[in-house]
């Protein structure tokens, strides 16, 4: 096991991900409970994460001193480097020129940490993000890499096997970072690459059983990949203690309800309640235009419906959801930290404070592509595993402004045509997510000899690895022209189609 001690960085989960990619099991524990975790897990190696605090502030987080005294190999990143330096007798100062974003480091000294890809005297790109810096190294440490603003970009003590970096090896902007983390766990810690999704599945099942005991669980199923994988996994763990609830909130795509109900009832034999709640949701959303209010309204109604269904089966202590890590991080805001709420994803931040059920979220630490791998491991059909993500609030957040039944009908048809063309041209699997939105404006057009005054449909398609960042998909113009012609001809109420060429950031994938 590798123990990752979390100091609250936005990207701590990426460290875990890289370690998993290296085929090694790891657990993240917050610094507050790290001492117990260290004792209990007896990890073979420890990684200290970055974090938003400054070690120069009184009461700022520290790693358990026992970790440094134990002799296990340590990799300390960013904030981790600073607290390690301080705890080992070095000096850290604030107020230096902050370095954010890309920097080049020059390698000064060889080390098994980057053996095989970084050479002494050469420069390599890394991603930095910090204002404080170490000014005096603890005894026994040497500088193995420097950058313009970070004289101790890599500092290490080979004898004690303590390695520290001021940059973040876990992010994709440090192109060799994955190899560096793999070197740490394989060559320095000495763990073999023997962990896999199969092991994750078993571990997740064990944890679900432990959490749930013999209580009943309600699982909200949206038809998306995440909730489907969560449902199948939980079903494997606790069998018929699980009831799935599929809520048709009237904000689904064309034919969605039938597809989901058929798969789960027929193919999986998982008990599934199909709740028709269109009236309930659309009435509550009448006149609502603010995106956050939409999300929160939908989140609250979902819980009402789940609680209703729980009562019908004689009570359920738990609600299961397919929350993923990017949903968590984008809904959370640490006080004093760099992370702010971008959107309240309905299955996280959009949940009402008052809720009678506890949450089971077995995918909370995974990224989308890892969830897909887990879905394949569980034997979910490829057409399901490979589906584009679909958000819990559904078409509500693809209908900026007021939601009406008329607009939803138009949107469903336009979306269907768009996706049909994408599939027909073999593009579906090249795209992370594609969908249509309907704008709250009408514009003038001419069809035949008539003037038209109808809605505008926007098309969105992006590529992404995990939904945290995304690029717009560079369709061929002829393709876009064809989709536009079909939509305007076949969907009554639309006379104009536009394509969204914004990346994330600065845009988000959904329009609300
Ligand atoms: P954004 O729009 O934040 O979307 O760039 C990133 C990914 O998350 C999906 N998304 C959601 N999924 N509940 C969900 O289950 C939500 O409230 C929600 N909001 C956005 C979005 O479709 C994209 O894949």
> Who's near 310: CB < 8 A, 6+ residues apart?
216, 218, 316, 319, 356, 357
Q: Is 227 annotated as a binding residue?
A: yes
Identify whether 449 is part of a domain.
yes
pLDDT digits (tens, 9 = 90+) for 393-451: 999 999 999 999 999 999 999 999 999 999 999 999 999 999 999 999 999 999 889 99
* Cβ 393 under 6 angstroms from ligand 1: yes
Q: pLDDT at position 97, please?
A: 66
Of 78, 219, 244, 399, which one is the catalytic site residue? 78
Instruction: Point out the catalytic residue in the list 29, 99, 130, 170.
Output: 170
Query: How many Å lie between the centroid of ligand 1 and the Cα of residue 345?
Result: 6
Give 305's Cβ-side CA count (13 Å radius).
24
Helix (H) or strand (E) holding 207: helix 197-212
- Residues 433, 435, 441: CA angle, nearest 5 degrees: 145
Distances (CA, A) of 259 to 11, 115, 255, 256, 306: 36, 51, 7, 5, 21
Consult the annotation and say whether 225 binds a ligand: yes
Instruction: Compute the residue count for the chain.
Output: 512
Question: Is residue 426 in some structural domain?
Answer: yes
Going by alpha carbons, the residue nearest to atom 21 of ligand 1 is 391
Task: State whether residue 473 is helix, strand or coil.
Answer: coil
Top mutation candidate among 220, 345, 369 for ligand 1, by most atoms within 8 Å of CB? 345
pLDDT of residue 466: 76
With contact defined as beta carbons under 8 Å apart, do 74 and 67 qualify? yes
- Specify the pLDDT at position 166: 94
Handedness of CA 67, 68, 73, 75 (dihedral sign): positive
The token pair at 234 is 């939980």
Are 175 and 229 within one domain?
no
Nearest alpha-carbon partner for 491 in 416, 432, 428, 427: 416
- State residue 291's pLDDT score: 95
Shared domain for 169 and 21, answered yes or no, is yes
**Domain span at 135:** 2-188
Q: Which atom number of ligand 1 is nearest to the Cα of residue 504? A: 5
List CB contacts of 14: < 8 A, sequence separation 6 or more: 170, 171
> Do 232 and 341 fall into the same domain?
yes
Distance 414 CA to ligand 1 centre (A): 20
Q: Pick the atom of ligand 1 nearest to 224's CA.
A: 15
In a domain, 409, yes or no: yes
Query: Both tokens of residue 53?
Result: 């605090």
Name the E strands within 356-449: 358-360, 433-447
Catalytic (active site) residue 78: yes
Is 509 contained in some domain? no
How far apart CA 271 and CA 511 sit, in angstroms, is 34
Is residue 287 annotated as involved in ligand binding?
A: no
Cα–Cα distance for residue pair 245/273, rounded to 1 Å = 5
Phi, psi of 399 (to 5 degrees): -135, 70
User: Mind listing the pLDDT tens digit of every residue in the chain (512 residues)?
Assistant: 999 999 988 889 899 999 999 999 898 889 999 999 999 999 999 999 998 889 999 999 999 999 999 999 999 999 999 999 999 999 998 876 666 788 999 999 999 999 999 999 999 999 987 778 899 999 999 999 999 888 899 999 999 999 999 999 999 889 999 999 999 999 999 999 988 899 899 999 999 999 999 999 999 888 788 999 999 999 999 999 999 999 999 999 999 999 888 888 887 888 899 999 999 999 999 999 999 999 999 989 998 999 899 999 999 999 999 988 777 665 543 333 334 455 666 554 456 566 778 889 999 888 888 999 999 999 998 888 999 988 889 999 999 999 999 999 999 999 999 999 999 999 999 999 999 999 999 999 998 899 999 999 999 999 988 787 889 999 999 999 999 999 999 999 999 999 999 998 889 999 99
Q: Greatest CA separation found in the chain?
A: 85
Same domain as 215, residue 123: no
Whether 349 lines ligand 1, by a CB cut-off of 6 Å, is no
Indicate if ligand 1 lies below 6 Å from the C-beta of 227: no
**Sole residue written with tokens 């524990």:** 29
In this structure, the answer to whether residues 124 and 174 fall within a common structural domain is yes
**Ligand 1 centroid – CA 269 distance (Å):** 29
Do 143 and 289 fall into the same domain? no
378 and 252, same structural domain?
Answer: yes
E-only strand ranges, 122-253 = 123-130, 133-136, 142-147, 150-157, 162-165, 217-221, 242-248
- Residue 226 annotated as binding? yes
**Whether the CB of 389 sits within 6 Å of ligand 1:** yes
Q: Which residue has the tokens 């959370």?
A: 332
Cis peptide leading into residue 506 (ω within 30°): yes
CB 369 within 8 A of CB 329: no
User: By C-alpha distance, which of 293, 481, 303 is closest to 400?
Assistant: 293
Helix, strand, or coil (residue 477): helix
Domain boundary among 188, 212, 238: 188
Residue 388's SS3 state is coil
Q: Which of 354, 385, 416 is the last residue of a domain?
A: 385
Q: Probe ligand 1: pick from 251, 371, 415, 509, max atoms within 8 Å of CB?
A: 509
What six digits make up the tokens of 174? Answer: 């440090």
Residue 101: in which H helix or E strand, if any? strand 99-107
Tell me what pLDDT residue 231 has: 95
Asked if 170 is an active-site residue, the reply is yes
CATH code at position 439: 3.30.300.10
| Domain-ending residue, one of 322, 351, 385 | 385
Q: Return the ∠ at Cα 274 (arms to 268 and 276), rounded to 5°.
A: 160
Active-site pick, 168, 235, 249, 346: 168
Q: In this structure, are 184 and 201 located in the same domain?
A: no
Query: Is the same domain home to 9 and 97?
Result: yes
Q: Tell me how far apart the alpha carbons of residues 323 and 69 are, in angstroms, rounded to a whole number.
A: 37
Is the Cβ atom of 345 under 6 angstroms away from ligand 1? yes
Same domain (yes/no): 238, 110: no
Query: Does 315 carry a binding-site annotation?
Result: no
Token pair listed for 475:
């369709």
The reported pLDDT for the residue numbered 352 is 58
Residue 392 lies in a domain: no
Residue 510, domain member (yes or no): no
Q: Find out whether the beta carbon of 392 lies less than 6 Å from any atom of ligand 1.
A: yes
CB 264 within 8 A of CB 221: yes
In the chain, the N- to C-terminal Cα span, in Å, equals: 40
Q: Is the CB of 467 under 6 A from ligand 1?
A: yes
The complex's ipTM works out to 0.98
Phi then psi dihedrals of residue 202, to 5 deg: -65, -40
**Residue 114 CA, ligand 1 centroid: distance in Å:** 36
Closest CA to 124 of 179, 52, 51, 46: 179
User: Is 126 within a domain?
Assistant: yes
509 lines ligand 1 (CB under 6 A): yes
Residues 255 and 138 in one domain: no
Question: Any idea what the CATH number is for the domain that residue 60 is in?
Answer: 3.40.50.880
User: Is 343 close to ligand 1, i.e. is its CB under 6 Å away?
Assistant: yes
Does residue 399 lie in a domain region?
A: no
Residue nearest atom 7 in ligand 1 by C-alpha distance: 467
Instruction: Tell me the β-bridge partners of 220.
Output: 245
Whether residue 262 is found in the same domain as residue 411? no
15 touches 7 (CB < 8 A)? no
Overall number of domains in the chain: 3
């Amino acid at each position: 096991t590798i123990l990752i001690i979390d100091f609250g960085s936005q990207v701590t989960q990426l460290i875990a991900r890289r370690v998993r990619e290296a085929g090694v099991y790891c657990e993240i524990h917050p610094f507050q409970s790290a001492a117990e975790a260290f004792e209990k897990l007896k990890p073979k190696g420890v990684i200290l994460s970055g974090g938003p605090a400054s070690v120069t502030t009184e009461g700022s987080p520290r790693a358990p001193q026992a970790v440094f005294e134990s002799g296990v190999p340590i990799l300390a990143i960013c904030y981790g480097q600073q607290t390690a330096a301080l705890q080992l007798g070095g000096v850290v100062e604030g107020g230096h020129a902050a370095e954010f974003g890309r920097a080049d480091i020059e390698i000064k000294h060889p080390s098994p940490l980057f053996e095989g890809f970084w050479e002494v005297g050469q420069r390599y790109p890394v991603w930095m993000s910090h204002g404080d810096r170490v000014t005096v190294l603890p005894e026994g440490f040497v500088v193995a890499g420097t950058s313009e603003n970070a004289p101790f970009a890599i500092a290490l003590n080979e004898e004690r096997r303590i390695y520290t970096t001021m940059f973040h090896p876990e992010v994709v902007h440090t192109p060799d970072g994955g190899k560096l983390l793999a070197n740490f766990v394989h060559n320095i810690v000495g763990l073999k690459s023997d962990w896999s999704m199969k092991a994750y599945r078993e571990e997740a099942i064990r944890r679900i059983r432990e959490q749930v005991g013999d209580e009943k669980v309600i699982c909200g199923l949206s038809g998306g990949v995440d909730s489907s994988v969560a449902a199948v996994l939980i079903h494997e763990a606790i069998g018929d203690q699980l009831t799935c609830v599929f809520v048709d909130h009237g904000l689904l795509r064309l034919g969605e309800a039938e597809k989901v109900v058929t798969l789960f009832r027929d193919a999986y034999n998982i008990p599934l309640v199909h709740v028709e709640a269109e009236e309930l949701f659309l009435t509550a959303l009448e006149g609502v235009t603010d995106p956050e209010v939409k999300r929160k309204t939908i989140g609250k109604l979902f819980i009402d419906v789940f609680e209703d269904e729980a009562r019908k089966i004689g009570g359920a202590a738990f609600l299961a959801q397919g929350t993923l890590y990017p949903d968590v991080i984008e809904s959370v805001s640490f006080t004093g930290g760099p992370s702010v709420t971008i959107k309240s994803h309905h299955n996280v931040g959009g949940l009402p404070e008052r809720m009678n059920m506890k949450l089971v979220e077995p995918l909370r630490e995974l990224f989308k592509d890892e969830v897909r791998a887990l879905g394949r491991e569980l034997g979910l059909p490829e057409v399901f595993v490979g589906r584009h993500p679909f958000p819990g609030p559904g078409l509500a957040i693809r209908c900026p402004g007021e939601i009406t039944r008329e607009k939803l009908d138009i949107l469903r048809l336009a979306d269907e045509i768009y996706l049909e063309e994408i599939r027909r041209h073999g593009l579906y699997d090249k795209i992370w997510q594609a969908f249509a939105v309907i704008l709250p404006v009408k514009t003038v057009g001419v069809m035949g000899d008539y003037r038209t005054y109808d809605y505008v449909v926007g098309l969105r398609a992006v590529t992404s690895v995990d939904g945290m960042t995304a690029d717009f998909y560079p369709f061929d113009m002829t393709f876009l022209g064809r989709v536009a012609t079909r939509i305007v001809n076949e969907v009554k109420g639309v006379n104009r189609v536009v394509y969204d060429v914004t990346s994330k950031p600065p845009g988000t994938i959904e329009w609300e």
